[in-house]
Structures are given as C-alpha cells and as structure tokens.
Amino acid sequence: MTLRDVDVHNRENLGKPDFIAQDEDPGSITETISGVIFGKTYLWWITAMGLSFGLLSIGMVGFVWLLAKGVGVWGIQVPNAWGFAIVNFVWWIGIGHAGTLISAILLLMRQEWRTSINRFAEAMTLFAVACAGLFPVFHTGRPWLAYWMLPLPNTMRVWPQFRSPLIWDVFAVSTYATISLVFWYVGLVPDLAALRDRAKTLLSRRIYGIAALGWRGAADHWHNYEKAYLLLAGLSTPLVLSVHSVISFDFAVSQLPGWHATIFPPYFVAGAVYAGFAMVLTLMIPLRAIFNLHAYITERHLENMGKVMLVTGLIVGWGYATELFMAWYSGNIFERFMMYNRIFGPYWMAYWGLILCNILVPQIMWSKRCRTNAFWLFFASQFVNVGMWLERYVIVITSLTRDFLVGSWGTYHGTIWDWAVYLGTFGLFLSLIFLFIRILPALSMTELKMISPEGKKTGH
Amino acid sequence: MNSTDTYHTSGLHGLMAEFDDPEKLVAAAEATRDAGYSKMNCYSPYPIEGAWEAMGHKSPMSKLVLLGGVTGCLLGFSFITWTQVIDYPWNIGGRPTFSWPSFIPPIFETTIMFAGLTAAIGMFLVNGLPRPYHPVFNVPAFIRASKDRYFLVIEASDSNFDQTATRSFLQGLEPLEVNDVEE
C-alpha cells in the first residue's frame, strides 16, 4: 500500500464530488499555497498576531507571579490540589488528538478528505501539546526541577516510580510530542523544498533550503519517504489512543469516587477527538474564508468533520450515561453521592453547562443543512470547546472537593492567576498558529498534487 | 553545457530529460530500463509509484523501523526492570518488585519512540540527506521539479552511457528538453 492508494481509493467507487476543484493542477496548487507565504503581510495578520501576543503576555505575567509567589497564587488547596492546571492540561492534550487522528488514522482508513486539512491539524496538535505541557511543569511549583520526572542518574540514586500513572504520563506525553513533531516535519520536507525553489530573497531561500535538507524529489527517496510516512502513521495511531488512555489512568487508577471507573480510557479518547475536531473547525472555518481556500477545503470536508463530531459526541454522551448508571448500580453510597453532588451540588452549573454544550447543542449536527453550513458548524464547535473544558472541570473538582470524609471537604475556585495563565496559553497557541500560517504551507502541496487530476493519472 | 561533439564524460553527471506529464515520465523510465540502463533516477514533485517500480527500487524502511521498535521495546523493558527490581527495589506493602504488567505502558511508549524516530531519521539517512548540493540542481529547468515538472536522469557512470547515443535515445522519448547535468 502506498500513500497514493490511500488517497485515490474512494474517488473511484463513490462517485461523489471531489475533495479538490477539478481545474487545479500541480502548478496552480504550488502558486496558490506558496503565494500565501510569499505574498504581502496583511494588516489583519499583524492585528491578529498582536492580539495573540497580548494574550500570551498576560500568561507570562501570570507565570512570573506564580514563580515569584509559589503555586498558592492558584486556587489550589488541599483537598483540591489539582485545579485548573490539570483541567487545562487534559483539555489541551485532547485538542491535539484530533490532529493525529486526521493525519494518521484517517490516512490508514483511506479517507481522502484528510489531505487538505492534515497539515494544519498536525500543527494544531504540536501547539496544543506545547500549551498542555506548560501546566504540569508549572504545577510542580519548581519548573526548573521538572527534569526530576525523567529517569536520570542522580546523587540520591532513586529512580522514578514506573508503576505510577503519573510517570506513564511523562512517557506518553513526551513520546507523543516527539513523534508528532517528526511526523509533521517529514510531511513538510518536500513542501519546504518547493518553497526553497520559489523563494524570492536569498535569505528565505537559504532558510527554507536548510530546512528542506536538500530534498530533490528523487524516485527512490519518494519510495523511502512514503514507507516512512505510512509507518509513522501506523505508529501514531496506537500512540494517540495510548496517550489519552494513560491520562485517564491518572484518574482511574486512584480510589476516588467519580475517577475510579473502567469507562475512563475510551471515554477520554472519544472526548479528546470530540474537542479536537471542534478546535479544527474553530480554526479552519475562518482560515478558509480569509485565504479563500474553498477549492481545497470544500463543503464535504466540513460535513465530514461535523459527522465525526456528532459520533464522538454521542460516545461522550454514552460515557456520561454509563457514569450515571454505574453510580446507581454499584449501590455504593459514595459513588451515588458523587453523582448527586455533580448534578445538584455546589458545581451544578458546570455540570448542566457541560450537558448543554456537549450533549444538547451538538445534536444540530444531525441536520445536513447545519453540517454543511460554516456558521452552524462554528456555532456548535464553540459549545463543544467550552463543554469539554467544563467536563474536565467537573471531573477534577467535584470529586476532589467532596470525597469520602465530610470533615475533609473543601471548595475550589480558580483565581485571577489561574485565568491569566489559561488565557496565556490561548495566546501562545494562537501566536504559534498565526506564525505557522505565515511562514509554512498550511495545506500540504505535495498531497494536494497527488489528488489533483494530473496526479491521479499515475495513481495505479 | 554544450558538448555534443566532444566525447568526454568527465565533469558530467548525466543527461536529464524533462517531461510535463507524469505518465510520460513513467513510460520513459520503463523504456530506459528496457534499453539496459541501470543507473538512472526520476525526479517529481510528488511520489509516483511507477517511477520507482521502473527503477526496481527496494525500500529498507520496514525492516529498519521493525528493528527500531524491537530495540525500543527491549531497552525499555530492561531499563525499567533494572531500575525497579535490581538497582533500587522498593518494598511497598510487600508487593512483588517485578510487577511487569505495570511496566507495559512506559515500555509501549519507548517502543513507539524508537520506532518513530527510526522511521524519520532513518528515512533521511537512507536517502543520503541532508545533502545541500547535488548536480541535478545545476540544470536551471530543474527548479520546477518541486512544482509541476517531471525529470529523468541517466547517469554518466552507467556502463551503457554514451553521450551521443544516450542523448538521442532520450530525445526519442519525446521530452520537452534534454539537458546535460554538470557535476
């Protein structure tokens, strides 16, 4: 099997409209997409970048204050030592998972429509993982000692506890970040070579040239490249499933009511994909409008993403229902109280908010008119973005603040510094996204050429 | 560049034919192979399966990545077992130190890490990259190899290479142009 088999498989027997306008050829694809990079810098880009950097600055202030005063400036306090840091970590990692799903799993499942959106989604994965990684590192309170989480020889002669899900987490997230980065870079190299050959100034030719590693598109190189790319996709697929499963073990391996549940791994993975597709749509819909990319990101792409959101949203809904059922069926008073507390306790607004955002509003995706309409997709995506954050908030906070012993109950609220660093990661994420679309091809030229009519000629 | 009369191959990497259609490139590569040339290469802006099949190229990537994955798995297993069982065993409520099922998640991650890095780094090394200079870049038309043109190069080191005969052979394949590729 080669990449091409994967890409052309559907078009022959489905008879559906194509995922690329039929008057596009390799030349026009190169011109359009490199034109975005070598064209002039628009005022909207400078404005957007400035606003994003402003948000990032708020986060930097938040982190500096945290370093100066300690983690006490966050709202965390025993019994609730996790708070926003873990909520945001899980939320950001989950967003990243859609990128891997699109680039790897849909490739293996021969879904041609992934081609236009995979590069962007992979970039989104990397940036989301970068944002996620900040939280546990700063949550330690001494980020300069974060390397203690790694199994390094040291004067105390101790090693990390490899039986702990928290160490599994370190391995899973660092592997995920590394493999996502190399997968993205391998995909970029032929496009970087195209940019090197189109560059207008010596400096940009040099920079893209160095990054392209001297790629010259030789047939034997392409052969090894395709093999490597498919193997990376095959490796990323179990990896992405393992990452959110391991993250769910952070909760599920504990004894706490509301966390100690076998439904957690699949329910977390589905939630991650759900949130991730919502974020892809959130970013893709404006990008498509601004750069006029309707020839490459068609209504069918939007519709398919809407379908994935609908299905993963229903799996998440099934997860909620299972939690409810198991709390009752277990006959355990602590489990039953946990569920009652979620629904009617002090955090009832967050619970009902997540039901509204994750379960009710996305049902509009049943309607084909909504699935193919950019506005309604964007509308539903915003609810899912908020809803998935609320879901993690409810899981973390309600279980920690009210566990078995009434005497150890507490309350939790994020402080202004919690919000500052959360907003700051939005700034980091958006700044990286805007830099990315300015200096790198946001759509894969190589893969678009393969699904263009000219590229299809040598398909089999 | 202009050396059709003189019979020298020194300083010449090969002859390059340029095509504007991927099917013509595959047909030309097959014809070149059938004419007895073995040292040739095709260049295209995207992967073309027929091109490397015509060249009879075999990719070692699958075996390399398997090797990388097995190495990662064994290293992960032996390192974790060594740290938890031999170098610094902890007695936690009398539980066995060699609790291997709990080592599976981190071993899985080291397996993926080694296999994935082997796939990416190995692919570039097997391809001889990074390599900033290559003779094919000396042909001005080659700038479109990353855009929308397809190239076939017969290398001068091929035992059947003869500058005049090979040139006329390439001309017979109906390319847009045939160029000398200087070293």
**Chain B residues lying within 8 Å of A172, measured CB to CB:** 105, 109
What pLDDT score was predicted for residue A20?
A: 65
Distance (Å, whole) CA A133 – CA A125: 12
- Indicate yes or no: CB of A224 within 8 angstroms of CB of B59: yes
pLDDT greater at residue A155 or residue B81: B81
Nearest to A217 among B106, B130, B146 (CB): B146
Instruction: Provide the pLDDT confidence category of residue A41 given band limits of 50, 70 and 90.
Output: confident
Given a cut of 60, is residue A460 above it in pLDDT? no
CB B129 within 8 A of CB A183: no
pLDDT digits (tens, 9 = 90+) for B39-70: 888 999 988 888 888 888 888 999 999 999 99
pLDDT greater at residue A373 or residue B8: A373
Host domain of residue A103: 3-456
Q: Which residue has the tokens 């489990």?
A: A335
- Indicate yes or no: CB of A26 within 8 angstroms of CB of B26: no
Give the number of domains in chain A. Answer: 1
Using DSSP's 3-state secondary structure scheme, residue A79 falls into coil
Using DSSP's 3-state secondary structure scheme, residue B148 falls into coil
Given a cut of 90, is residue A36 above it in pLDDT? no
What pLDDT score was predicted for residue A245?
A: 92
Given a cut of 60, is residue B5 above it in pLDDT? no
Please tell me the distance in Å from B6's CA to the nearest CA on chain A.
29
Instruction: Provide the pLDDT confidence category of residue A118 given band limits of 50, 70 and 90.
Output: confident
Which A positions 203-222 lie with beta carbon below 8 A of chain B?
209-210, 213-222
Q: Give the closest residue to A415 by CA, choosing from A64, A59, A66, A75.
A: A75
Least confident segment among A10-14, A47-51, A283-287 = A10-14
Q: What does the pLDDT average to over A328-342?
A: 92
DSSP string, A138-188: HHTS-GGGGGGGS----TT-----TTSHHHHHHHHHHHHHHHHHHHHHHHH
CB A381 within 8 A of CB A281: yes
- Tell me which chain B residue has its CA closest to the CA of residue A156: B88
Beginning with the edge strand found earlier in the chain, give each strand of the sheet holding B40-43 in spatial order: B40-43, B150-155, B12-19, B177-182
- Indicate yes or no: CB of B112 within 8 angstroms of CB of A238: yes
What pLDDT score was predicted for residue B82?
A: 94
- Indicate yes or no: CB of B102 within 8 angstroms of CB of A162: yes
Nearest to B57 among A27, A223, A457 (CB): A223
pLDDT digits (tens, 9 = 90+) for A68-90: 998 889 988 888 888 899 999 99
CB A399 within 8 A of CB A256: yes
Least confident segment among A177-191, A352-366, A403-417, A439-453 = A439-453
Instruction: Provide the pLDDT confidence category of residue B4 given band limits of 50, 70 and 90.
Output: very low
Angle, alpha carbons A365-A367-A371 (nearest 5°): 55
What pLDDT score was predicted for residue A239?
A: 92
Nearest to B113 among A162, A175, A186 (CB): A175
Please tell me the distance in Å from A240's CA to the nearest CA on chain B.
11
Least confident segment among A39-43, A118-122, A403-407 = A39-43
Distance (Å, whole) CA A393 – CA A18: 41
Instruction: Provide the pLDDT confidence category of residue A358 given band limits of 50, 70 and 90.
Output: very high
**Chain A residues lying within 8 Å of B125, measured CB to CB:** none
Q: What does the pLDDT average to over A154-162?
A: 87
Amino acid identity, position B91: N
Which B positions 37-96 lie with beta carbon below 8 A of chain A?
41-52, 55, 57, 59-62, 65, 69, 79-80, 83-84, 87-88, 90
**Chain A residues lying within 8 Å of B50, measured CB to CB:** 458
- CATH number of the domain where residue A384 is located: 1.20.1630.10
Where is A287: in which H helix or E strand? helix A264-291
Q: Domain ranges for chain B, please list them.
A: 12-58+135-182, 61-126
Angle at which helices A26-38 and A416-439 cross, to 10°:
130
